[in-house]
């Protein structure tokens, strides 16, 4: 009977040892898989950031003139919509245009048109290349760049007007 008990104890010990070793191997295997998956996720995230950066660079940048030509040129000549905005309140101009029966300017379009006309103040000095460079940087860098330019240039515009122009740029670009 002692021999049977010893054999049973030996079998139970061997089985327990086998299970412990199997569990240890499985834990090590799962840990390695987890590390591998984390590395792959980090790689994919890096590639997604690169793709996002490239897509921002590849996306066509719309200058305020392009946007206004698209929205306003069916009724106005370029001289008309580019010439008068500097002498009047932009919001009053848009309200006056919208009062015409054939003008179908939605609320979102009004804001973009207003912003594009504000941005025309920037195009007095800056080319479309500047707008392209602004489109390639992130929102915070854009804000910093525009505010630095505004402070440096000692512009006659208010800080609020500059921020409205920046917001308009982002709306027109679809950011």
Radius of gyration of the chain (CA): 32
Across 17-21, 39-43, 165-169, least confident range = 165-169
Q: Give the sign of the dihedral formed by CA 79, CA 160, CA 94, CA 114.
A: positive
What burial class does residue 98 get, using C-beta atoms within 10 Å of its C-beta: 0-12 exposed, 13-18 middle, 19+ buried?
A: middle
Q: What is the pLDDT of residue 84?
A: 53
pLDDT tens, position by position, 56-100: 655 566 677 777 777 777 777 655 555 555 545 767 777 777 777
Distance (Å, whole) CA 87 – CA 56: 35
Q: Which tokens in the block code for residue 29?
A: 């295997």
pLDDT of the residue at 87: 46
Nearest one of 169, 153, 73 to 114, comparing CA atoms = 169
How far apart are alpha carbons 42 and 140 in whole angstroms? Answer: 24
Would you say residue 130 has pLDDT above 70? yes
Residue 59, pLDDT score: 55
Whole-model pTM: value is 0.50
Q: Output the pLDDT for position 19.
A: 95
| pLDDT above 60 (res 143) | yes
**Predicted confidence band of residue 24 (pLDDT cuts 50, 70, 90):** very high
Domain ranges of the chain: 1-58, 64-173
Checking if the pLDDT of 105 tops 80, the result is no
What is the rounded distance in angstroms from the CA atom of residue 121 to the CA atom of residue 109? Answer: 19
CB-CB contact of 115 with 168 (8 Å): yes
């Amino acid at each position: 009977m002692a021999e049977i008990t010893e054999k049973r104890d030996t079998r139970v010990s061997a089985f327990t040892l086998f299970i412990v070793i199997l569990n240890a191997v499985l834990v090590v295997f799962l840990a390695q898989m987890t590390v591998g998956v984390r590395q792959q996720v980090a790689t994919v995230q890096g590639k997604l950031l690169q793709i996002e950066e490239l897509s921002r660079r590849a996306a066509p940048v719309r200058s305020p003139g392009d946007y206004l030509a698209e929205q306003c040129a069916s009724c106005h000549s370029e001289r008309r919509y580019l010439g008068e905005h500097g002498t009047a309140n932009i919001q009053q101009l848009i309200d006056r245009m919208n009062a015409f029966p054939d003008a179908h300017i939605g609320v979102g379009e009004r804001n973009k048109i207003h912003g594009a006309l504000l941005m025309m103040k920037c195009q007095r000095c800056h080319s479309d290349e500047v707008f392209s460079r602004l489109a390639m940087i992130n929102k915070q860098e854009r804000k910093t760049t525009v505010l630095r330019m505004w402070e440096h240039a000692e512009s006659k515009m208010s800080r609020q007007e500059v921020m409205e122009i920046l917001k308009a740029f982002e709306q027109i670009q679809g950011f």
